[in-house]
Amino acid sequence: MFKRFRRLRINETLRNLVQETVLTPDDFIYPLFVREGQNIKTEVASMPGVYQMSIDEILKECEYLVSINLKSIILFGIPDTKDSVGSECLCEESIIARTIKAIKAKFPQMFIVTDLCFCEYTDHGHCGILDPKTGSVDNDKTLEISAQQVLVHARAGVDMIAPSGMMDGIITTLRNTLDENGFRNLPIMAYSTKFASGYYGPFRDVAESTPSFGDRRTYQMNPANRLEAIEESLEDEKEGADILMVKPALAFLDIVRDIRNQTNLPLCVYNVSGEYAMLKHAGAHGLIDYERVMMETMIAFKRAGANIIISYHAKEVCKILRNN
């Protein structure tokens, strides 16, 4: 006798009863990009539906997010002034610090994650202090100013830190700094396996963080390396990370599963700008059923082993979940 798999597919209610992987609004973190000024809401041409916003517009956006039960955001800052070391983000009144305080004052229930890096704040677009000899980022000097930046975020009232610069030892540095300054309970979500990927292209438009020379392959991971990817995440776990991440997501689901099989920590994927833009533009040209493909992609992330999804699709997904 052969197995009749179709018995469990004939009825829609039964299909839902036996569905193994489900999505909820609690799975998602939505990226927001804040810049100086007022009444600013500028759509990014390469990423339809994604905006650079001033703080007042960010607050309006948060009001909408709360209405669709989307409770978590990750903040990126776009300063007016940039220099060689990203001084703006080391200031207690940085654009990120002021945004955290404004959101918490109006929406205390909103869970705020902050991206901790320097690429948006430096005039050269790299993720830290440059070493003039190598032309790349000086790892240990960047760790020193990362410790300064994390305290700015912590004192402003952030709920979780997400360091994206891929400096070796960053989790140890941040964990020690937070613990020594009274922030022992502030969690760290490590960009633990972050690849030097072509999928980041549109993000450089919205965050205005394109390197002025070279690329980031000396500190971000080679997409061809599987074992090193696993090692990166396991090392961050040893250093005290509370949540691990794989970025990008779609082309690296094998890595997500590999890491899921080797750790019990919560695992996040970052569904990055290029992945988002491909679906958006394909949908706009009638090449795909956009909503169906979007939801299928989100399911794939969770099926691969992710607990958390950072995605520019998050608003649309949560709206669909609310209406179903």
Report the distance separating Cα 231 and Cα 227, nearest Å: 6
119 annotated as a binding-site residue: yes
194, 280, 302, 315: which one is catalytic? 194
Assess whether 194 carries a catalytic annotation: yes
The catalytically annotated residue of 60, 133, 247, 280 is: 247
Q: 283: part of which helix (H) or strand (E)?
A: helix 273-284
Give the pairing type, strands 41-44 and 47-53: antiparallel
Annotated ligand binding at 318? The verdict is no
Instruction: Determine if residue 273 is labeled as part of a ligand binding site.
Output: yes
**In the annotation, is 106 catalytic?**
no
Burial 151-165 (b: 16+ CB within 10 A, else e): bbbbebebbbbbbbb
Helices 227-239 and 253-260: crossing angle in degrees, nearest 10, is 50
Tell me if 117 is assigned to a ligand binding site.
yes
Contact 23/34 with Cβ under 8 angstroms?
A: no
Is 62 assigned a ligand-binding role in the annotation? no
Residues in CB range of 184: below 8 A, 6 or more apart: 178
Element (H, E) at 247: strand 244-247
6 annotated to bind ligand: no
| Binding-site annotation: residue ranges | 117, 119, 127, 204, 216, 232, 273, 312
| Binding-site annotation: residue ranges for Mg(2+) | 232
| Binding-site annotation: residue ranges for 5-aminolevulinate | 204, 216, 273, 312
Catalytic residues: 194, 247
| Binding-site annotation: residue ranges for Zn(2+) | 117, 119, 127
